[in-house]
Every structure is written in structure tokens, then in C-alpha cells.
Amino acid sequence: MVERALAVAWPGNARDSGRQPDHLPAVAVGGGERPQRDRGGPEYSDMTSLGNKWYLRQAAYMSMRRLGLDHINLYYLHQSTFTDVPFEQAIGTLAGMKADGLIRHIGLSNLSAEQLRTAMSISDIAAVTAHYNVAVRLGAAVRTVAEETGIVFSPWHPGAVPSGPEGEPFHAVIDPIAARLDVTPQQIALAWQLHHTATSLPVPGTTSVAHLHENLDAAGISLTQDEVDAITALAPEDD
């Protein structure tokens, strides 16, 4: 899906040349093999993660072919546990792919802070993703390591704000801030990410151009330190 989006967004002459603009890193995700159930789509409850060097290299080559590239600027490993090889071996494979010029930078997803430190002992890590937002802080420990070491931290579901009764404490804090600035609660949630983590690069999803602009506008929102602290206090940061 990421590859298709980049293929649409990327001007044709740049794709044809096989060169990537410096400001548009191509992100491909490897490591997850999702069986298809009755050809009706992915069966997420039965996902097999492969990390052997043949699979990861083939996935990278296939991504490059689909994108029309001779290398990938940022290559994400989507999983951190594999059925065929240890985590360290998969990172070693990525390091080898980087040395060979297939990829320029390594990104990691769905891992622990300990695994991130292990990966950093094997190769340079450019970016990590984790589930982290105003209500869910599962990636808190990873965020801490990333910020301390200058690694880009890309939280997923970054602008999510709970709804219903469980969301009332969050809206009690966030909605007045949104009203003061004439923006949405989701934009405040994104702005909080940028204020809260120095190396934050949120990855919000969208299905419309209008929502895309709304997400981008969140980067220009200025929160006070008291507002940042109040939102941070809404959920525990379990490092």
C-alpha cells in the first residue's frame, strides 16, 4: 500500500530515472507474511513473520522493482519476532543490505526498548514506529530510547482520541485547548506528539486530501508547556 501511494505521488519522470528525491524517502515494509484465507484477504490472527536473509532481500528487490528504484532510502522491518531466525540475525541482514547499497537507512517497528538497543549495537537505526498517542502509551519505552539517541520516533495512530465514556477525561482536557485555537481535538493530539517528543515524526492515516491538509496544519499549532503537561498526564508513561 505504501508503495502504491508513493508511485502515485511521485512524478513519473523521477520514477523513470530510478532516482529518489532527497525529500521523499521511499518506505517499504518487510518481515510479515500474511496468509490469505479463502482468497478473501489477510488473516491477521495467523500472521507468520519471516526474517531470513533470502526473504528480506527478495522483499527489498520486489519493492524496488515496483517503485522503479535502484535502492530504498528507508526500509522498515515490520516485525521483531520471527518464526525462522533470531531478531539479531534479521538486523544483521538489514545491515548487510545497507552495506550493499540496497537500502540507505533502517527502520524498525513493533519492538521493545531492549530490542531497539540490541539493534543499535549491530547497525545504525534511523527510525522506529510504535503505538503511542494521548491514550495509549505502549511505545513509551521505545520513545524514550529514540529521543535519547536521536532516532526518529514515528508513532502510529498518533492523532487518535478516545470516544464515548472512556474518552471523557481526554476530551475534558483536549477540547478546551482545541476550542481556544479553533482546531480539532485530533489536531491537538498530533501537535502534542510534536511538542512532547523532540524526534517525533507522526504517521497519521488519511483517506482524503482535506484530512491530509488538516493533519499537516497540526504542525503549526503552538501549545503551552502547561497544555503539553496536562495531555501527557492523561495516561501513564510506563518506561
Domain match, 84 and 192 both: no
Q: With both helix axes pointing from N to C terminus, report the angle between 87-99 and 113-122 in degrees, rounded to the nearest 10.
A: 40
Domain match, 81 and 176 both: no
Domain match, 13 and 103 both: yes
Q: What is the pLDDT of residue 171?
A: 97
The residue with greater pLDDT, 58 or 13, is 58
- Which CATH number characterizes residue 49's domain? 3.20.20.100
- Please count the other Cβ atoms lying within 10 Å of the Cβ belonging to residue 41: 9
Q: Output the CA–CA distances (angstroms, integers) from residue 99 to 54, 55, 62, 123, 224, in the order listed.
A: 16, 17, 19, 10, 44
Domain match, 222 and 163 both: yes
d(CA 131, CA 41): 24
Question: Do 74 and 108 form a contact (C-beta atoms < 8 A)?
Answer: no
Q: Give φ, ψ of 20 to 5 degrees.
A: -110, 130
Domain match, 167 and 121 both: no
Question: Do 232 and 196 form a contact (C-beta atoms < 8 A)?
Answer: yes
The residue with greater pLDDT, 33 or 15, is 33
Q: Does residue 98 sit in helix, strand or coil?
A: helix
Q: What is the mean pLDDT of residues 106-119?
A: 95
Rg (CA), the chain: 19
Domain match, 114 and 168 both: no
Q: What is the mean pLDDT of residues 170-174?
A: 98
Q: Is the pLDDT of residue 206 over 90?
A: no
Domain match, 86 and 176 both: no
pLDDT category of residue 1 using cuts at 50, 70 and 90:
very low
The residue with greater pLDDT, 10 or 110, is 110
d(CA 229, CA 125): 29
Alpha-carbon torsion, ordered 195, 201, 206, 210, to 10 deg: 60
Domain match, 186 and 84 both: no
pLDDT tens-digit profile of 28-41?
555 555 444 444 54
Q: Is the pLDDT of residue 237 over 90?
A: no
DSSP state of 45: G
d(CA 187, CA 189): 5
Q: Is the pLDDT of residue 134 over 50?
A: yes
Domain that holds residue 77: 1-125
Cell, residue 107 = 527502520
Q: Is the pLDDT of residue 27 over 80?
A: no
Domain match, 26 and 111 both: yes
Question: Do 109 and 129 form a contact (C-beta atoms < 8 A)?
Answer: yes
Domain match, 96 and 177 both: no
Q: What is the pLDDT of residue 161?
A: 96
Domain match, 202 and 92 both: no
User: Percent of the chain beyond pLDDT 70?
Assistant: 79
Q: What is the mean pLDDT of residues 141-158?
A: 95
Q: Is the pLDDT of residue 157 over 90?
A: yes
Q: What is the mean pLDDT of the chain?
A: 84
Q: What is the pLDDT of residue 4?
A: 36
pLDDT tens-digit profile of 60-98?
998 889 888 889 999 998 888 888 899 999 999 999 999
- Name the domain count of the chain: 2
The residue with greater pLDDT, 237 or 19, is 237
Which burial class, exposed, middle or buried, applies to 85 when counting CB atoms under 10 A from its CB (0-12, 13-18, 19+)? Answer: middle
Q: Write down which residue in 125, 140, 169 finishes a domain.
A: 125
d(CA 71, CA 99): 12
